[in-house]
Amino acid sequence: MEERRSFRWAKRLNRTFFPVFGPAQLSPYGEPDKVPVADRNCPMCGHVMSAHVIEPGDVYRSTKLHCPS
């Protein structure tokens, strides 16, 4: 019975707010495309990230980033 009561409450809430707010937005329309990671600049040296060498780590070692400069 409790489940049915909460469902009725949610349905009533949805009927009240849907005309005001409308449906949910599913994607960011109108926003500029994000720059791919390879085309961004390195925060440490300023070179493009595609010029760097990334040495992946494992359980015992951290990932290392080798800058070209």
Tokens of 26: 């599913």
Number of domains in the chain: 1
Q: Which domain holds residue 50?
A: 41-69
Query: Per the domain annotation, does 15 fall within a domain?
Result: no
Q: CA-CA distance, 4 to 7, in Å (whole number)?
A: 5
* pLDDT score recorded for residue 63: 92
> For 21-61, how does the pLDDT look when each residue is reduced to its tens digit (9 = 90+)?
888 777 667 777 777 877 888 888 888 888 899 899 999 99
> For 40-50, how does the pLDDT look when each residue is reduced to its tens digit (9 = 90+)?
888 888 888 88
Query: Per the domain annotation, does 4 fall within a domain?
Result: no
* pLDDT score recorded for residue 35: 77
